Amino acid sequence: MSKEQVNFIKYNKRNKRIILLIQISIIIIFLIIWELLSKYNIINSFIFSSPSKVIKTIYNLYLQNNLFKHIGITIYETIISFIIGLLISLILSTMLYLFNGFYKVMDPFLTCLNSLPKVALGPMIIIIAGANIRSIIVMSILINVIVSTIVITNGFYNTDTIKLKLMKSLKANKYQILKYLVIPSSYKTIISSFKLGISMSLIGVVSGEFLVSKAGLGYLIIYGTQVFNLDLVISGILLLVIISYILYKLVEVLEKKLLS
């Protein structure tokens, strides 16, 4: 590599370290201010808790062997929902592209379903699937599938028109166009939809756990609300933030590997 390339790489690495340091500093400063405000009763510690109380609550969950149980259940439900939702989204998107009439018919319905709060369907889902983990996964899939299908389908239909004309001029049928042009051209869109899918899956799982659950982080938050244990509520929220970040980063690593 030339000297300019080496300097450019060093510059990028230094920038990344600076950004990471700033991000960590913001979190630390926020936690310190939060703790001080709570300690000196500037904010109501019963409602807003404090970092020390949250750490103590999480530690107590660990001592009671409940911490990893609830985390594991939420992650398991999220991953199952994400995988099933992704497969359904790919199948639906392919059908919507291959059959243009079907797409025109379904487009307004997809828009309406996307706007509909899926929690409103909760009672029906519970009646149909039962008050168990299946209801949670169904809820999560509903939230995940609609959004992912819309994103992937739009990617398919935004394929370069010049390349499409070229394929048609070579007498390629729609299945060949899909296989050799549309899917490869939309590869980045499909992979990028993984990030959206994992986020939507986690949202769906937590929404489902709010409605019907005996375990999971959503259950901890609802239980904490019912018994006015707001330390438990905020602990559950904090754990969800950490899990969502970890899952997002894992999908980001997967995205980089697939795109490479």
Residue 130, amino acid: G
Note the pLDDT tens digit of each residue in 10-20.
778 888 889 98
C-alpha R_g of the chain: 23
Share the mean pLDDT of the chain.
88
The answer for residues whose C-beta is within 8 angstroms of residue 138's C-beta and 6 or more apart is 125, 129, 208
Q: Select 50-259's CATH number: 1.10.3720.10, 3.40.50.920, 1.10.357.10, 3.90.950.20.
A: 1.10.3720.10
**The 3-state secondary structure of 9-77, one letter per residue:** HHHHHHHHHHHHHHHHHHHHHHHHHHHHHHHCCCCCHHHHCCHHHHHHHHHHHHHCCCHHHHHHHHHHH
Question: Out of 116-120, 180-184, 247-251, which region has the weakest mean confidence (pLDDT)?
Answer: 116-120
Q: What is the pLDDT of residues 220-239, one digit of tens each?
A: 999 998 888 899 999 999 99
CB-based contacts of 86, cutoff 8 Å, min separation 6: 144, 148, 193, 194, 197
**What confidence score (pLDDT) does residue 101 get?**
87
Q: What is the model's pTM? A: 0.85
Kindly tell me if the per-residue pLDDT of 7 is higher than 80. Answer: no
Domain parsing of the chain, residue ranges:
1-43, 50-259
Whether residue 260 has pLDDT greater than 80: no
More confident of the two residues 124 and 22 = 22
